[in-house]
Structure formats: C-alpha cells, structure tokens
Structure 1
C-alpha cells in the first residue's frame, strides 16, 4: 500500500498539512494574511498560506481539491483566476496572489503597575 508523503485536510476552520515525518503545519483561515504560489518541485506547484504570526502552511497543488479552492474564495476579494494564472506560470520564485485587505491587529497595550 502506498502512503503519500504528505496529505492536507481542509475544514471550515482552517487547513492542516501532515508530513511523512509526523510534523504538521496548520493555519486558521481567519488568520491567513497572504497566499503565494511558486517553488516548483518535482512537477508540483506549491501554494503557501501565511498567517499574522509569520507561520506558513505549504500546500502542494496535487494535494488541493475543490474544497480547498472553494474555501480560498471566502478570503476577501480572493481571485481564483489570478491563482490559476500563477499556478500555470509558476517557477522557482513565488508570486503573491492574495494579501489581506485588513491591516494586522495592533499589539494590545500592556499595562504596567
């Protein structure tokens, strides 16, 4: 039986990638601030989601499905045509296909006694 070296779960709450070595990357959709495409490896294109803390979840295009693409459309003003173009024209570099229109939340003011 062939076990894939990586698999991706997409839910209403977020996206999670499990690696063969047991490591996991997970992001909540509400925290995603940027989507990049590129980094072609072994005939696959990578879609990178980044959150406010600078954490990434790297999703190979081969691991994406209709659920993943449908969920991306909920990001404000996300353009699936731009994503498709970036995937078709991907190379070693990365192209930002979406950036959150909302500014990051400011850090809370700390109270000192």
Structure 2
C-alpha cells in the first residue's frame, strides 16, 4: 500500500496550552498558566525537542517538526523570555539539555504541617 505514513503524534497549540496527541491515543498536555520551565534538548537539527514542564514535573514534549510560528509566538509572551537564548539552545551541540526559560514565580509553598 502506498501513501503518506501516519505521524506518531500531533501537537496542538492553543491560547490555553499545548497538547501532544500520540498515535496510541494517549495525550500529554500542559496549560500555559501552569508552565514552570522550557528546556531544549539537542541532537541533530531534526530531533531537537522542546520540553515544557509544570511545577509538579509533568511535561509535554514538542518535537521541532511540530514547532510552528504560533508555538514560538506564544513562548515569546512568557515573562522575561529571551529569544536569543532560545536560538542559542537550538543551535547547541548534540546531546545537550538547556533551560531557556523558568517561571519567575516560585512553585506553590508546601502546606503547613503540624508536628507533635
């Protein structure tokens, strides 16, 4: 059978967040308001990954092949986001992981515990 192969995932960027839908039906999603960190994991130009993390360590991984102008524009709206740092990280050598943005807001404090 000839034709286009089915991609292993689709990435949707909305005003609310990012969602990656995998071929097996699973979904990894992250709301922009919950975003705590953006990392770039380098390899060859074709396999660069944008790793989005929340304060609880949940992630949504966006491959470079799924990155479009809407995704990059939304990153630029993050407080104190530095596009030059992003560009440098994307051009980093293979195998590196570079944090390009962290939320200026600290994670929510742990609840107060009462000790006897």
TM-score range, shorter chain: 0.7 to 0.9
**Segments of 4+ in structure 1 off by > 2 A?**
39-43, 107-111
Deviations 1:31-58 (A, max 9, x none): 1110000142783100100001110100
TM-score using structure 2 length: 0.85
Match of 1:20 among 23, 27, 30: 23
**CA-based RMSD:** 1.9
State the structure with more CA Rg. Answer: 2
Name the structure with the higher strand share.
1
Q: Name the residue aligned to 1:77.
A: 80
SS of residue paired to 1:40: coil
Q: Name the residue aligned to 1:67.
A: 70
Match of 2:54 among 51, 61, 69: 51
TM-score using structure 1 length: 0.88
Unaligned runs of 5+ in 2: none
Aligned residues: 111
